[in-house]
Amino acid sequence: MNTGWMYYKGIYRGIEKKLLLYHIAMKQAGDSEDREKKKPEKTSSLEKEMKEYIQKENKRLLDKKINISMIIPPWETLSGITSPSLTTTYPGLAAGTGYEHEAGIEGEFKTGFSFDHTTGLPILPGSSVKGILRNSFNHTEYIKEKLGGDYPSEKIELLKKWIFEGIMDGKPVSIYKRIIFFDAVIIPGKDDLFDEDYLSPHTSMFSEPIPIKFLRVMPGSRITFGFKIPEKTILSPGFIINASRVRDLFKKIILDTGVGAMTCYGYGHLIDPNSR
């Protein structure tokens, strides 16, 4: 079964009617402070039934085994692709949390997740990877350090425009001379791929935090990135950059910054399994 479909649609498929009846009843109860007293008695039984159903479906999702042989990177049949693989560290990876995923049921996952539409497998969208890398180029001295050379700021700006805008000498270049960012593929490690986790934001120092349940990728999972980088590019007289240098730069940035959501809480940080 398509895991993405299961997460966004399948989990709720068996309680659609009950969910509709519940929301109608709650709407009739209004938004006043005594809403809980005004709601019909039948909503309590609906809440209990939906909670039990969601708990069962969540377990089915978390127990789902991913067939690794089915994970085929989108660049598999293309040539000239560089695909560094990095491994998630504790507490894992959260991605796509901004996508809507909440029906108002106790026990459900409250945030979204990034899945490939066709395969249903978890991914990091290429646009997100590109955005992470682009943001780092706002710090010129950092990029100079990671490139490992004495590059003037003007050359870093040329590099930035070529990588992210496809512009050289003030003009757009052919797609064949640009870098293509593919969706990063996520592959389970020794353990299951998914687990549940909680975040408890404090909205006020006088109120109890309300835990937010979300889906995470387990530590030890492998993330394979895909970049199509021209073998050699002349950005200006005397400034030639090759694919291996760009690939190494991307890898260093990703290892430093992390990927996905909540990196400030430790999620999305990666290590290179080959550097141990």
pLDDT recorded at residue 34: 56
Buried b (16+ CB within 10 A) or exposed e, 49-63: ebeebbeebbeebee
Mean pLDDT of 35-57: 78
Return the higher-pLDDT residue of 272 and 191. Answer: 272
Spans of all domains in the chain: 1-64, 76-275
Tens digits of per-residue pLDDT, 65-74?
887 877 778 7
Q: State the pLDDT confidence band at 16, using cuts at 50, 70 and 90.
A: confident
Mean pLDDT of 61-67: 87
Percent of the chain with pLDDT over 90: 63
48 pLDDT more than 80: yes
φ, ψ at 81 (rounded to 5°): -100, 135
Distance CA 83, CA 124 (A): 14
pLDDT recorded at residue 17: 85
DSSP lists the bridge partners of residue 115 as 122
Tens digits of per-residue pLDDT, 109-151?
999 999 998 888 899 999 999 999 999 999 999 999 999 878 8
